Amino acid sequence: MTAQLSKKSEAWSARFSEPVSDLVKRYTASISFDYRLARFDIAGSLAHAEMLHAQHIISSEDFAEINRGMAQISAEIDAGKFEWLLDLEDVHLNIEKRLTELVGDAGKRLHTGRSRNDQVATDIRLYLRDAIDNIGLLLRDLRLALLNLAERHSGTIMPGFTHMQVAQPITFGHHILAYVEMFGRDGERMLDCRRRVNRLPLGAAALAGTTFPIDRERVARTLGFDDVCHNSLDAVSDRDFAIEFCAAAALVMTHVSRMSEELVIWMSPRVGFIDIADRFCTGSSIMPQKKNPDVPELARGKTGRVNGHLVALLTLMKGQPLAYNKDNQEDKEPLFDTVDTVVDTLRIFADMAGGISVKDDAMRDAALQGFATATDLADYLVKKGLPFRDAHEAVARAVRRCVDRGCDLTDLTLAEMQEFSRLIGDDVYDVLTLEGSVAARNHIGGTAPEQVRAAIERVRALLASH
Ligand code: ARG
């Protein structure tokens, strides 16, 4: 839906002697983006009207008329027939004006005991709560897709890296489960942030509260808020909940970005660990042979814009005196774009996880290079009684010999091995295998296939119980 902006110049109210210029109108209006709050604005207005009625501030007739008018407005918006007017500045005034057109004085009474300041703060919180719930589901879908991938590869061996150098053999399933953990914490952060989002500003009015006998708890209940905001100045002016959300979103994107970086590296022909299904890749306009991992690259790039939105909101807030200032209108575009970016990214990644094919042989070959089991040899010597530091040194010398000769540790004969330590016996070769190495790391959080399968079951059970 795009907002149609039509023109009709009028001064703001009797207080003003001239209308604003077209440029100022365009500069100060928010309707081109805040029309997206319409659904939440109407829900907030209906809850407010219901309370005004229950408190005998408006009549039953007025309440019925407001309901009737809002139902029609909702239908007009859903049908794309609602005419958004730039002259009416924002979503709140557009809807209120249309309501008044439809139901007369009842529409004019809706704004009793309310201000756009508490109204917009309420709308954003409703919008964000909805977005957080959606993102929670999408994080869950992504985790399920990654669990399936990890399950298919609980025993697939690859090199694990530190400093981008081959470090120790791990299983691909274990590697993928690292992201399952990250996205799990992202879900926790979203839920935690939701608790602070889900408090009702309405009733704060412009900044000081209202002289009408309102019932804020009633409105909070109607709208599903856990509590009301307990200070009217704070209620209309702070956007910390949106900043907090953007910080959580930036971490989601950071995790996506790290994973993207790995996917890009793994898909490089030089590495060749995986292939990503064609539907997530694009070609080159000049080089016919190219297949580029565009989706992960773009996700990595989009992390920058989400980080930028976080900084934008922090900067927006930092210089504002209490209470509401028009600066706050600038909270919406960064927030909307953060939600849109995270939602699209998570949806694509959940789908793409099913389109990753693993080249087991290439992973295994890579794990065989770089003395990935050197630590296992050191551990072997420790188990035979050598202090770890001495074992580390003995294996370092053995590796040095292999580097000079261009061979692997397993290529050394037992006699050659024993030059580095007399403690080495012919059981050493089992220790140097990739399978033996991963299977030996058999504790919670370790890379052994048995542990990977247990970890998958654990997360599956957690997801099923929530
Ligand atoms: N469009 C405004 C916003 O997004 C609504 C609140 C305007 N309040 C005011 N006093 N100008 O913040």
- CATH fold of 5-10+20-112 reads Fumarase C; Chain B, domain 1 (1.10.275)
Query: 236 CB less than 6 Å from ligand 1?
Result: no
Where does the pLDDT of residue 143 fall: very low under 50, low under 70, confident under 90, or very high at 90 and above?
A: very high
Average pLDDT in the 433-451 region?
A: 96
Ligand 1 centre to CA of 222 (Å) is: 24
Q: Is the confidence at residue 11, as pLDDT, over 80?
A: no
Q: Is 94 in the pocket of ligand 1 (CB under 6 A)?
A: no
Mean pLDDT of 1-21: 69
Nearest atom, ligand 1, residue 324 CA? 10
pLDDT in tens, 121-138: 999 999 999 999 999 999
More confident call, 129 vs 10: 129
Rounded mean pLDDT, 396-419: 94
Q: Residue 370 above 90 pLDDT?
A: no
Ligand 1 touching residue 124 (CB < 6 A):
no
Task: Name the band, by pLDDT with cuts 50, 70 and 90, for residue 9.
Answer: low
In the reported structure, the alpha carbon of residue 236 is separated from the centroid of ligand 1 by a whole-number distance in angstroms of: 10
CATH of 370-464, one of 2.40.10.120, 1.10.40.30, 1.20.120.50, 3.40.190.10: 1.10.40.30
Residue 5 has pLDDT above 60, yes or no: no
Domain ranges of the chain: 5-10+20-112, 117-159+171-365, 370-464
Residue 7: its pLDDT value, please? Answer: 47
List active site positions.
163, 284
CATH class name, domain 117-159+171-365: mainly alpha
Three-class SS of the chain = CCCCCECCCCCCCCCCCCCCCHHHHHHHCCHHHHHHHHHHHHHHHHHHHHHHHHCCCCCHHHHHHHHHHHHHHHHHHHCCCCCCEHHHCCHHHHHHHHHHHHHCHHHHHCCCCCCHHHHHHHHHHHHHHHHHHHHHHHHHHHHHHHHHHHHHCCCCEEEEEECCEEEEEEEHHHHHHHHHHHHHHHHHHHHHHHHHHCEECCCCCCCCCCCCCCCHHHHHHHHCCCEECCCHHHHHHCCHHHHHHHHHHHHHHHHHHHHHHHHHHHHCCCCCCEEECHHHCECCCCCCCCCECHHHHHHHHHHHHHHHHHHHHHHHHHCCCCCCCHHHHHHHHHHHHHHHHHHHHHHHHHHHHCCEEECHHHHHHHHHCCCCCHHHHHHHHHHCCCCHHHHHHHHHHHHHHHHHHCCCHHHCCHHHHHCCCCCCCCCHHHHCCHHHHHHCCCCCCCCCHHHHHHHHHHHHHHHHCC
pLDDT at 139 over 60: yes
Ligand 1 proximity of 90 Cβ (cutoff 6 Å): yes
What's the 457 CA to ligand 1 centre distance in angstroms?
Answer: 49
In angstroms, the CA 394 to CA 428 distance is 14
pLDDT of 200-258, one tens digit each? 999 999 999 999 999 999 999 999 999 999 999 999 999 999 999 999 999 999 999 99
Residue from 26, 237, 326, 336 to probe ligand 1 pocket by mutation (most atoms less than 8 Å from CB): 326
Residue 37 has pLDDT above 50, yes or no: yes
How far away, in angstroms, is 318 Cα from ligand 1 center?
18
Rounded to whole angstroms, how far apart are CA atoms 309 and 139? Answer: 20
Q: Is the CB of 119 under 6 A from ligand 1?
A: no
User: For a pocket test of ligand 1, which of 36, 95, 120, 207 has the largest count of ligand atoms closer than 8 A to its C-beta?
Assistant: 120
Q: Is the fold of 5-10+20-112 the same as that of 117-159+171-365?
A: no
pLDDT tens profile 295-314: 999 999 999 999 999 999 99
Question: What's the 116 CA to ligand 1 centre distance in angstroms?
Answer: 6
Whole-angstrom distance, CA of residue 64 vs CA of residue 67 = 5
